[in-house]
Amino acid sequence: MYELVLLFFQITIFKKGPQDVPVSAFVLKLLLPVYVAVNYLILLMNGALSTALLQILADFAMILLFCWPLLYVAGKSHRFPQTLAAMIGTDIVLSFLALPAIATLNTQANDLAYFSMLTLVLWRWLVTGHIMKHALDRSLFFALGLALLYIMLSSQVMAALFPEIVSNPE
């Protein structure tokens, strides 16, 4: 397990890519409960308990619907298990790193917490672009464009499905 954590961390710091993830259903079986747990914790801290599992399912579905068609159209569908594992594994790492900033924003918001979240959002964009670059064998510029499109569409879909995410409690 330590090797997997290290692998996904190395992907988040651009030292490895999705091609380094083992092609194994077992890896996905290990990642999915951790993915659900970390994202559930984030949603718990944000007070979204009633829809937490639906939000996690929707997020997972968007990752699937982002990766599979791109890889299929590019003729690289054989890379899907590795790409999916890389997307989920790096999401776990970055979400885990976001926990302190999210907790701070929910208790005593400050500039450092906002800056940390902005940094993590940018980092997630770069990591997603990095994964897509290697998975699709395309330029980083193209992959970053796809990653930005994914982030924008994902946030729009989540806001449409779960309006409480963007509603102002005041």
How many whole angstroms separate alpha carbon 33 and alpha carbon 138?
31
Total domain count, the chain = 1
**Contact between 66 and 150 (Cβ < 8 Å):** yes
- Residue 16 in any domain: the answer is no
Q: What is the span of the domain harbouring residue 142?
A: 24-164
Classify residue 73: in a domain, yes or no.
Answer: yes
Tens-digit pLDDT profile for residues 97-109: 999 999 998 888 8
**The pLDDT of residue 123 is above 50:** yes
Q: Kindly state whether residue 57 falls inside one of the protein's structural domains.
A: yes
Assigned domain for 80 exists: yes
Q: Is residue 3 part of a domain?
A: no
Q: Can you give the pLDDT at residue 141?
A: 97
pLDDT at 107: 87
Is residue 1, in this structure, part of any structural domain at all?
A: no
Q: Please, which residues have CB within 8 angstroms of residue 129's CB and are 6 or more apart in sequence? A: 140, 143, 144, 146, 147, 148
Q: What are the C-alpha distances in Å from 17 to residues 7, 73, 131?
A: 9, 20, 6
Q: Is residue 114 part of a domain?
A: yes
Cα distances (Å, whole numbers) of residue 9 to 83, 85, 87, 134, 149? 15, 13, 12, 16, 24
* Domain-located, residue 143: yes
In tens, the pLDDT along 20-78 reads: 999 988 999 999 999 999 999 998 888 777 888 999 999 999 999 999 999 999 999 99
The model's pTM is: 0.90
DSSP classification of residue 170? -
Note whether 143 and 129 are within 8 A (CB).
Answer: yes
